[in-house]
Amino acid sequence: MLTRRSALLGLTTAVTLGRVSLAVAAAATEQRLVVVLLRGALDGMAAVVPYGDPALGELRGALLPPAAGQPNGLLDLGGFYGLHPELTGLHAMYRANELLPVHAVAGPYRVRSHFEGQDYLESGTDHRLTSGWLNRAVQALPGTTAARAKDAALSIGVEVPLLLRGAARVGSWAPPGRVTVPPALYTQIAKLTRTDPVIGPAVREGLQGRGFSSAIMAGDADPGRDRYAFPALAKAAGELLHAADGPRVAALELVGWDTHVAQTPRLTYVLRQLDAGLVALKAALGPAWQRTAVMVMTEFGRTARINGTMGTDHGTASVALVLGGAVAGGRVLADWPGLGAGKLFEDRDLAPTTDLRAVVKGVLAQHLGLAEASLRQVFPGSGGVTGIPGLIRA
């Protein structure tokens, strides 16, 4: 039987299988929060195209989709920006006032290394920490006692991303394999590994997580070959978050954004996965979608100009997407820096005008009720960065 206690014992799970992974954490809230990390640097200007900027054509000509209204053309977002033609599910959410793209966004990091960039994005600082900002946010939720936070973590996938590592415990769900191990053997192995500081907790939380998730996922038909694809894991995340006793926080990852070469076909594939996954997440959440905020973010953007191989190199500002039934969407938020002469950052990248931490702080404060003092612990050294108001419906 699934009890509240067993749910709280699950709570942070992750699997990295192929190109995607998912981790979830329980938390003392009825609100749902999902973070999607796009590893490899999404080209923000390709996902949300600033077609109204007169300098865009010269920088991007060959990479631009047809104009809005034409076959396979941009999906218009109110006259200046357009969504990539693959993002039809997101466009429907925009029209339902559930999607809020935030453009020209970057964290505090400026060096253009993926690996440092991802570490700092997940740490929530300009240096690497051993815990992630999302784990710290779970611990800081109002009503979370120390004891409860310690028990607060189920994970979906094999690895737990840095984003969710930290003091809130990490447990697991992954699509089932084929071996059936005798339960008594699991128990013996749990005992045998108990004293190992790394293996012991992982085995214990893994077993709790599996028991918890299999109870929720029991009715699910085997999704077959595509069970590790992003839409399948996004659907699983939605089902786990939807459950009354389920986790409240999930992190998903999708790689494949590092489009140095042949950007158009490569982006088409990953954007389609992203769009289908977010649609599946919404469907699986059911009524809980109204209490959900999703943040989609990447470590940095890409060069404003096409490079020598019909792609783009590492850049600075990109786009972040905030979506969900709880989000005050239907508009694009940006202090648009422009693309003309002298406007690019270091004469190559979209200039950052909004700090990504201001977006996340706004969502954490308005959606989860985190106080300013807590936000400063979630993002150390961010005292000068204020949360953006009005991201969540009043």
Partner 1 sequence: MDRSSAQALIRFGLGPRGGEPAPADPTAWLLAQLHASDRPAIAPFPSTARGLTTLRADRENKPPPGKSASRALFRSEAQAELAHALTTRAPFRERLVWFWTNHFTVSVRAGAVAPLAAAFVEEAIRPHVTGRFQDMLLAVMHHPAMLLYLNNAGSVGPDSPAGKRGHRGLNENLARECMELHTLSPAAGYTQADVTAFAAVLTGWSIDLRADPPGFRFRPFAHEPGSQIVMGRHFPPGEAGGIEALEFLANHPATHRFLAAKLACHFVADSPPPDAVRRIEAVLRETRGDLGAASAALVHLDAAWPPGTKLRTPQDLVVATLRLLDLPEDHRPNLLGTLGGLGQPFFAAPQPNGWPDHAADWAGPEAMLRRIDWAYAVSGRAPQTDPHAMADAALGPLLRPATAMAMHRAGSRREALALLFASPEFQRR
Site string for partner 1, 40-69 (x = CB under 8 A): x-----------------------------
Q: Report long-range pairs for 127-132 (Cβ below 8 Å, ≥24 apart).
A: 129/380, 130/165, 130/166, 131/162, 131/165, 131/166, 131/167, 132/161, 132/162, 132/163, 132/164, 132/165, 132/166
93-132 positions binding partner 1, by CB under 8 A:
111-116, 130
Residue with tokens 């997101």: 90
Burial class (CB in 10 A: 0-12, 13-18, 19+), 200: middle
Report phi then psi at 391, rounded to 5.
Answer: -80, -30
Query: Looking at this protein, which amino acid is placed at residue 189?
Result: I
Q: Which is nearer to partner 1, 58 or 346 (CB)?
A: 346
Task: Kindly tell me which residue out of 193, 353, 377, 386 binds partner 1, with binding defined by CB under 8 A.
Answer: 193
* Shortest distance, position 261 Cβ to partner 1, whole Å: 5
The Cα 248–Cα 262 span in angstroms is 38
Sheet of 82-83, strand order: 48-49, 82-83, 75-76
The secondary structure of residue 302, as a DSSP letter, is B
* Per-residue contact string for residues 255-274; x = within reach of partner 1 by CB under 8 A: x--x-xx-------------
* 214 belongs to the binding site for partner 1 (CB under 8 A): no
Verify binding: residue 185, partner 1, rule CB under 8 A.
yes
Among 199, 215, 217, 283, binds partner 1 (CB under 8 A): 199
Q: Which of 155, 273, 318, 366 binds partner 1 (CB under 8 A)?
A: 155
Distance, in Å, from the CA atom of 293 to the CA atom of 368, rounded to the nearest integer, reads 10
- Rank residues 136 and 165 by Cβ distance to partner 1 and give the closer one: 165
Cα distances from 41 to residues 38, 174, 300, in angstroms, run 7, 26, 5
Closer residue to partner 1 (CB): 199 or 283: 199
Q: Which of residues 311-340 bind partner 1 (CB under 8 A)?
A: 311, 313-314
Candidates 189-197, 320-328, 332-340, 382-390 — which segment interacts with partner 1 by CB under 8 A? Answer: 189-197
Number of residues that bind partner 1 (CB under 8 A): 63
CB of 372 to partner 1, least distance (A): 31
Tell me whether strands 155-156 and 32-39 are parallel, antiparallel or unpaired.
Answer: unpaired
Q: Does 13 bind partner 1 (CB under 8 A)?
A: yes
Integer-rounded Cα radius of gyration of the chain = 21
If the CB atoms of residues 160 and 284 are measured against partner 1, the closer one turns out to be: 160
Please name which of 139, 133, 136 lies closest in space to residue 119, comparing C-alpha atoms: 133
| Site for partner 1, rule CB under 8 A | 13-19, 39-40, 111-116, 130, 155-160, 165, 170-174, 177, 179, 181-182, 185-186, 188-189, 191-193, 195-196, 198-200, 202-203, 205-207, 209-210, 255, 258, 260-261, 307-309, 311, 313-314, 346, 348
